[in-house]
Amino acid sequence: MNVKLSNELKVGILVTIALAALLWGLNYLKGKDLFSSRNIYYAVYTNVDGLVSSNPIVMNGYRIGIVNNIEFMPDKSGNLLVTLLINDDVFISKNSIAKIFNSDLIGTKAMKIELGNEKMSLNNGDTILAELETGLAQQFGKEVGPIKNKAENLIVNLDSVVTMLHSLFDPNTKNNLRSGINHLNSGLASFDQLMTSEKGKLYLMISNIESISYNLKANNEQITHILNNLSVVSDSLAQVKFATTIKHADDAVMKMDNMLDKINSGKGSLGKLVNDEELYNSLNNTSKDLDELMKDLKANPNRYVHFSMFGKKDKK
């Protein structure tokens, strides 16, 4: 049975096919393949640094997907949620990192997946770790920033030094420097004249020094012999004196030991005085009696001493 299609139907079919082809082509140009299956992953960034939808996603330099959508998080934190479409045949480990980077020198953004070392893979709909790679400009700024600060400090210090030098070399200081240099030149000229006038004396002095040096060198052996003799004599005297001193010290110690032995054994007056308790008590009592006698003498001197203005009285 032959079915005849109307021209309107044919035109409609052609238009539908053309629209489908156009839609597929546009999606293909954007990196979307309608006939391939892909997994959806999410990444959260505080700043996407110019990343837009349809930017490519690469791994090890090979394109594995595209950035599907970018929107703000619904929690009103200001963070950005990026939707990633990645081919389902690509293994993405759980500790992988989605990093935004510059794909060319003009700053076109792209995303690369840095594969982690875990064996477990992300599931469809999971969130991947996010990171923003530092670009050349930012890296250059970080490295040049400290140098810039040091250069500014150096310029400030140089300005201070220049100001100090400017204040130092005022007219008065310049005049003083000129005067000092003139005095120095005068001193050098006077010294030169002195050296010229005393040149003969210097030559004679140098000749005498050379003569003395020659004599010392010629009599080196004799001088050495004399010094050796002096050293021997000095050593002998030191040894004799030291030995005599030791002998005297030994004799003194021995005499002291003998004297202490005699005292301890009760020999001699000092030994008896130290060891005889009765003698000690007697001396103690005598001392007390003398003390009482002195007290009574001071209190009653008339008992012991008699004075008379007309001579001595006869005692009854």
Q: Tell me the per-residue pLDDT of 99-156, one tens digit each, with 9 for 90 and over.
A: 998 887 777 889 999 998 888 989 998 999 998 876 555 555 555 667 777 787 888 8
Q: Tell me the per-residue pLDDT of 204-241, one tens digit each, with 9 for 90 and over.
A: 788 788 878 887 878 888 888 888 888 776 676 666 55
Q: Which of 183-197, 252-266, 294-308 has the lowest mean pLDDT?
A: 294-308
Question: Is residue 81 over pLDDT 90?
Answer: yes
DSSP assignment letter at 79:
-
Q: Tell me the per-residue pLDDT of 244-289, one tens digit each, with 9 for 90 and over.
A: 777 778 888 888 887 777 777 766 666 666 666 776 777 778 888 8
Q: Indicate the pairing of strand 56-59 with strand 109-114.
A: parallel
Q: What percent of the chain has pLDDT over 70?
A: 76
Q: How many CB atoms sit inside 10 A of residue 207's CB? A: 10
Q: How big is the chain, counted in residues?
A: 316
Q: What percent of the chain has pLDDT over 90?
A: 16
Confidence band of 316 (pLDDT split at 50, 70, 90): very low
Distances (CA, A) of 137 to 55, 101, 107, 144: 21, 12, 10, 10
Domain locations along the chain: 1-30, 37-133, 139-168
Q: How far apart are the first and last CA of the chain?
A: 204
Question: Is residue 28 over pLDDT 80?
Answer: no
Mean pLDDT across 180-191: 80
The pLDDT of residue 13 is 79
Structure-token pair, residue 216: 């010392």
DSSP assignment letter at 93:
B
Question: Is residue 309 over pLDDT 50?
Answer: no
Question: Is residue 68 over pLDDT 80?
Answer: yes
Mean pLDDT across 53-62: 90
Four-point Cα dihedral 258, 262, 264, 267, nearest 10: 180
* Residue 68: Cβ-neighbour burial (10 angstroms; 0-12, 13-18, 19+): buried
CA–CA separation, 40 and 123 (whole Å): 9
Structure-token pair, residue 246: 């030791």
Confidence band of 311 (pLDDT split at 50, 70, 90): low
CA-nearest of 63, 44, 43, 45 to 55 is 63
DSSP alpha helices (H): ranges in the chain?
Answer: 7-29, 136-168, 171-197, 199-218, 220-265, 268-275, 277-299
Question: Is residue 96 over pLDDT 90?
Answer: yes
CA–CA separation, 11 and 311 (whole Å): 187
Residue of 187 and 124 predicted with greater confidence: 124
Residue of 250 and 316 predicted with greater confidence: 250
Confidence band of 302 (pLDDT split at 50, 70, 90): confident
The pLDDT of residue 102 is 87
The pLDDT of residue 85 is 92
Dihedral of CA 246/251/257/263: which sign?
negative
Dihedral of CA 87/89/95/101: which sign?
negative
CA–CA separation, 247 and 253 (whole Å): 10
Query: Considering the chain, what is the average pLDDT of its residues?
Result: 77
The pLDDT of residue 275 is 67
Mean pLDDT across 69-91: 91
Does residue 117 contact residue 89 with C-beta atoms inside 8 Å? no
CA–CA separation, 41 and 64 (whole Å): 13
CA–CA separation, 241 and 259 (whole Å): 27
Give the CATH class of 37-133: mainly beta
Sheet with strand 109-114: strands edge to edge: 38-45, 80-87, 62-72, 56-59, 109-114, 97-102, 129-132
